[in-house]
Chain A
Amino acid sequence: MSDLILALSRLGGPLASHVLLSASAIALGTLIALPLAIWASRAPHIARLTLGFASLIQTIPALALLALFFPLLLALRGLFGQGLPTLGFLPALLALTLYALLPILRNAVTARANMDPGILEAADGMGMTAAQKLRLVEAPLAAPYIMAGIRTAAVWTIGAATLATTIGQPSLGDPIFAGLQTQNWVLVLAGCIASAALALIADTLLGLVERGFAIRKPLLVWIGLSLALAGIAVAGWSSRDTGERDTIVVGAKNFSEQFILARLIGQRLEQAGYNVEYREGLGSAVIHTALTSGAIDVYVDYAGTLWANQMERKETPARSRMIAEIAKWEKDSTGTRMLGALGFENAYIFAMRRERAQELGIRSLTDLASLSSRLNVGGDVEFFERPEWHAVRDAYGLNFAQIRNYTATFMYNALQSGQSDVIAAFSSDGRIAADHLTVLKDPKGALPAYDALLLITPQRVQEKRFVNALRPLVGAIPVSRMREANYAVDRKDNKLSPREAARQLAKDIETGNSTGS
């Protein structure tokens, strides 16, 4: 319980971002929906068109809508210049605004369509101009219904805004996604509670405004509105830019090792005098473009991932040649700097429970292939879309009975419970050793090397202070250390947070206290 209170007390930052993002999206959605509704009330085909469009948007899953704005904004850079942000607040705002449109628009259009024709005839008959009619009759009569729409939009938006984490916008999704990855249920619960409470509060305050409009008590409207605005103001004040210190954004993908490395990098940069923010939970495809576009300043990627996904290479050369070619390609294509390898590898490997492997007599991927049609395989959410999977599948002729996607954490549970016979795991994952898993050999060398590489945005490559702060990390992390840190975060009991694990890792690097591998 005290853990939960502690976790909740640390949500100030994400909560403030969440409030500002949701409030901006609802405000912008209202600003767009109301003129559209007025236009629609004067032209029935516009009503059909706008409502159809808004309904169509609603059918797109919120997560996909958020993700779609990344390539869209990237394409729009041709129009608006390279300064256009492609990650973070802007795409999150645009996606959520579109999401907020429908309930507001629909309620406004419906309110107008169902208005007593006698009242509208009286408005005309008394000699109101179109503007007077809107201001004196249509707007006040539609107000409670519009407010109800804004209320619905607010509850939806606050819920969907948790997904903004995946496109690099801090929100209450941060603790939820981080907690899901590290099996820290307290963190997940804290994020859910905070987001639900926020939605309830918004609903109550806007409900007050709605009721004020409905029973024509302006006092209620003012109370509800001023409390809501006060909340937004507090959120804005608390997340105002505090220092003149240069702010660095450290990126991370969506698993524990990335969270730990991001904190490790961040802590070094803070020591060097930088302000540090984190963008966590980014997908492999998004994160590289985020770096080259300057949305994030630094992150750790893996050789094989860059090789297959960004460079679209199929062959698997020796490790040193691959890393050298990656460094050259990054420099030539975008000016990104590959500062160096951290010293460990996090390859995709296929792992089985030891007893299961022995029972089936499987020791290598070749053995696995002959039995694969009877077996179920599990992988992380992106593995089966990646070229590495296609390569290894084709090299060995793997043809599984069933393919399942899991978040990394659940994948190990699936293996233990027998839902999956084999999983595509990460070689640096502490759970492989802890769970006594058998790692299958890759005699054909179909899986490329996955050395962890430190990548720096083109905007910072000339910055000595920045580069010098990070250089000591190169070659400093043996795989045993990384596994230890990962396991400290991933294990069920006595867990560390990624921040604590990063501190521990930093201490070990300082003292050179490496267990080696």
Chain B
Amino acid sequence: MAAGDRPFLRFDSVTRQFGETTAVAGVTLDIRQGSFVALVGASGSGKSTLLKTVNRLIEPTAGTVLLEGKDVAGSQPSRLRRRIGYVFQGVGLFPHMTVAENIAIVPRLEGEKIGHGAIARLLELVELEPALARRRPDELSGGQRQRVGVARALAGNAHLLLMDEPFGALDPITRDALGRRVRDLHQELDLTTIMVTHDMAEALLLADRILVMDAGMIVADATPAQLLAGQGGKIAQALVAVPREQAQALADLTR
């Protein structure tokens, strides 16, 4: 296999059990560099668990995860995670640090400093005023906080961005705006992005590849266009039906 064809990220028979419960049941999957993948499914379908096996917040019970051809289990979790951007619903900004200190945390862990200019550029990337750098997280709105969360995830020059329900706690307008911004950043920075969401509409609008999970298994693997064309099977179509019917209902109202 030529280097260019080597998958950026590969899941090889990844299984994770919590006691008697199987959260992820032998998932095998390749993800190409530069793709924007949405992992969609109901609560408890195993999508978050699968995502977290990549940065080893959760260790698989069996199987391996290969990042750029290397087993992630072979590197120290802390080193591995600094190379991978991570954004999640809880945001988890450090309340005792300023916005600038929060953003600079990954370089700091590596023993590096990033300057005011770099912080300002990162804030600009997520469409925030540079003046916010000196504020503390409790002075920000929910949307601003998650923007800072995204900037923090990108500060370590990550090429892989993992997002676990990143917009789940935001109001619809902020959610839409931030979703678009992340989609653009994905392109501008040449990222590979995996986003866990239970919202099929969000997945259809942002991702270029959608994986539907159910009971720990991938039950559909398709592009948005294919899903909208009715492919991907029953479970996927049930999820697609929701936004489609809503759109239809809205369209009917305007007539």
Complex interface residues of chain A between 104 and 160 (CB less than 8 A to chain B): 116-129, 132, 136-137, 140-141
Size of interface on A: residues with Cβ below 8 Å to B: 20
Complex interface residues of chain B between 52 and 86 (CB less than 8 A to chain A): 55, 57, 77-83, 86
A331 in the interface, Cβ–Cβ < 8 Å?
no
In Å, the complex CA distance between A160 and B81 comes to 50
Which residue in A119, A122, A128, A216 is a CB contact (below 8 Å) of B109?
A128
- In the complex, the answer to whether B96 meets A126 with C-beta atoms within 8 Å is no
- In the complex, the answer to whether B88 meets A127 with C-beta atoms within 8 Å is no
Complex interface residues of chain B between 109 and 161 (CB less than 8 A to chain A): 109, 136, 152, 156
- In the complex, the answer to whether A127 meets B57 with C-beta atoms within 8 Å is no
- In the complex, the answer to whether B78 meets A119 with C-beta atoms within 8 Å is no
- The chain A residue sitting closest to B101, CB to CB, is A136
B105 in the interface, Cβ–Cβ < 8 Å?
yes
Complex interface residues of chain B between 159 and 189 (CB less than 8 A to chain A): none
In Å, the complex CA distance between A124 and B55 comes to 10
Q: B96 — which chain A residues lie within 8 A by C-beta? A: 140-141, 216
Given the interface contacts A132-B109, A140-B96, A141-B96, does A126 sit within 8 Å of B82 by beta carbon? yes
Which residue in B77, B79, B93, B156 is a CB contact (below 8 Å) of A122?
B93
In Å, the complex CA distance between A119 and B138 comes to 13
- In the complex, the answer to whether B95 meets A126 with C-beta atoms within 8 Å is no
- In the complex, the answer to whether B86 meets A119 with C-beta atoms within 8 Å is no
Which residue in A122, A124, A127, A128 is a CB contact (below 8 Å) of B91?
A122
- In the complex, the answer to whether A118 meets B92 with C-beta atoms within 8 Å is yes
Which residue in B81, B90, B91, B136 is a CB contact (below 8 Å) of A126?
B81
- In the complex, the answer to whether B81 meets A121 with C-beta atoms within 8 Å is no
Which residue in B55, B57, B79, B92 is a CB contact (below 8 Å) of A116?
B92
Q: A120 — which chain B residues lie within 8 A by C-beta? A: 92
- In the complex, the answer to whether A127 meets B109 with C-beta atoms within 8 Å is yes
Which residue in B57, B83, B152, B156 is a CB contact (below 8 Å) of A121?
B57
Which of B93, B109, B136, B156 has the most C-beta atoms of chain A within 10 angstroms of its own C-beta?
B109
- The chain A residue sitting closest to B137, CB to CB, is A119
- In the complex, the answer to whether B95 meets A141 with C-beta atoms within 8 Å is yes
- The chain B residue sitting closest to A144, CB to CB, is B96
In Å, the complex CA distance between A140 and B94 comes to 10
Q: A116 — which chain B residues lie within 8 A by C-beta? A: 90, 92, 95
- The chain B residue sitting closest to A129, CB to CB, is B78
In Å, the complex CA distance between A313 and B83 comes to 82
In Å, the complex CA distance between A325 and B82 comes to 82
- The chain B residue sitting closest to A130, CB to CB, is B78
In Å, the complex CA distance between A136 and B82 comes to 16
In Å, the complex CA distance between A120 and B93 comes to 10
Q: B91 — which chain A residues lie within 8 A by C-beta? A: 118, 122
In Å, the complex CA distance between A511 and B106 comes to 86
Which residue in A119, A127, A129 is a CB contact (below 8 Å) of B94?
A119
- In the complex, the answer to whether A127 meets B81 with C-beta atoms within 8 Å is yes
- In the complex, the answer to whether B90 meets A117 with C-beta atoms within 8 Å is yes
Which residue in A121, A128, A132 is a CB contact (below 8 Å) of B90?
A121
Q: A117 — which chain B residues lie within 8 A by C-beta? A: 90
- In the complex, the answer to whether A127 meets B92 with C-beta atoms within 8 Å is no
Which residue in A125, A136, A140 is a CB contact (below 8 Å) of B92?
A125
Q: A127 — which chain B residues lie within 8 A by C-beta? A: 77-83, 106, 109, 156
In Å, the complex CA distance between A132 and B136 comes to 21
Q: A128 — which chain B residues lie within 8 A by C-beta? A: 78, 109
Q: A129 — which chain B residues lie within 8 A by C-beta? A: 78, 109
Q: B80 — which chain A residues lie within 8 A by C-beta? A: 127
- In the complex, the answer to whether B109 meets A124 with C-beta atoms within 8 Å is no
In Å, the complex CA distance between A126 and B93 comes to 11
Q: Nearest chain A CB to B87's CB is how many angstroms away?
A: 9
- In the complex, the answer to whether B55 meets A125 with C-beta atoms within 8 Å is yes
In Å, the complex CA distance between A126 and B92 comes to 10
Q: Nearest chain A CB to B83's CB is how many angstroms away?
A: 8
Which residue in A121, A132, A136, A137 is a CB contact (below 8 Å) of B88?
A121
In Å, the complex CA distance between A132 and B105 comes to 11
Q: Nearest chain A CB to B217's CB is how many angstroms away?
A: 26
Q: Nearest chain B CB to A88's CB is how many angstroms away?
A: 43
In Å, the complex CA distance between A129 and B86 comes to 16
Which residue in B83, B94, B156 is a CB contact (below 8 Å) of A137?
B94
In Å, the complex CA distance between A216 and B101 comes to 14
In Å, the complex CA distance between A216 and B57 comes to 30
- In the complex, the answer to whether A125 meets B93 with C-beta atoms within 8 Å is no
- In the complex, the answer to whether B57 meets A124 with C-beta atoms within 8 Å is yes
- The chain B residue sitting closest to A133, CB to CB, is B78
In Å, the complex CA distance between A367 and B115 comes to 97
In Å, the complex CA distance between A57 and B117 comes to 56
Which of B77, B78, B93, B95 has the most C-beta atoms of chain A within 10 angstroms of its own C-beta?
B78
Given the interface contacts A125-B55, A127-B106, A140-B96, does A118 sit within 8 Å of B81 by beta carbon? no
In Å, the complex CA distance between A117 and B91 comes to 10
In Å, the complex CA distance between A140 and B83 comes to 25
- The chain A residue sitting closest to B91, CB to CB, is A118
16 A-B interface contacts by CB (under 8 A): A116-B92, A117-B90, A118-B92, A119-B92, A119-B93, A121-B90, A121-B92, A122-B92, A125-B57, A125-B88, A127-B79, A127-B80, A127-B156, A128-B78, A132-B78, A136-B105
A residues neighboring B (CB under 8 Å)? 116-129, 132, 136-137, 140-141, 216
Additional 5 contacts, C-beta under 8 A, given A121-B88, A126-B106: A121-B90, A122-B88, A125-B81, A126-B109, A141-B95
B residues neighboring A (CB under 8 Å)? 55, 57, 77-83, 86, 88, 90-96, 105-106, 109, 136, 152, 156
Among all A-B residue pairs, the 5 with the closest Cβ atoms: A122-B92, A118-B90, A127-B81, A127-B82, A125-B86
